[in-house]
Amino acid sequence: MQLLDLKTKDLWSDKFTELKSKLEELEVQKCMHIELHKWTALKEIPRVEALIFSAWNSFQNATVRKHIRELAVRRILGARDEKTKNSGGLRFLKLPKLNFEATDYIDLIDWSNCVVTEPPLTMHIKDKDLKEM
């Protein structure tokens, strides 16, 4: 089990190290195009969100740590409660700042400083079924 945890940790840290270098490269490209006033070339640079989502989606394994899954369920259920209290408005997606110094993927986001909304993929799952996952 410990070997699996080490392998998973290495996969995650490698994934986010790679993401960090891609984001830095993206910023350098943007600066170069701005400096040279190449506005059309600037529009062709991939969006930051696309890089983040592709890095996340390319990782196949779900976490094996039960407490992390339980935390995710609590956050989803909490987001559902907030939605019930504040229903009627549009949801605006605001990407949180990433902590690239994090040693674990759950620490990439400062959860106390962001509004958590339910992921669309879990909206069809009943509370009871979600708790059993």
Do 117 and 91 form a contact (C-beta atoms < 8 A)?
yes
**Percent of the chain topping pLDDT 70:** 75
pLDDT confidence of 106, banded at 50, 70, 90? confident
Tell me the Ramachandran region of residue 58: left when phi exceeds 0, alpha when psi lies from -120 to 50, beta otherwise: alpha
* Cα–Cα dist 38/55, whole Å: 28
Average pLDDT over the chain, rounded to whole? 77
pLDDT in tens, 26-84: 899 999 989 998 888 888 888 877 777 676 655 555 566 788 888 888 988 988 888 76
pTM: 0.48
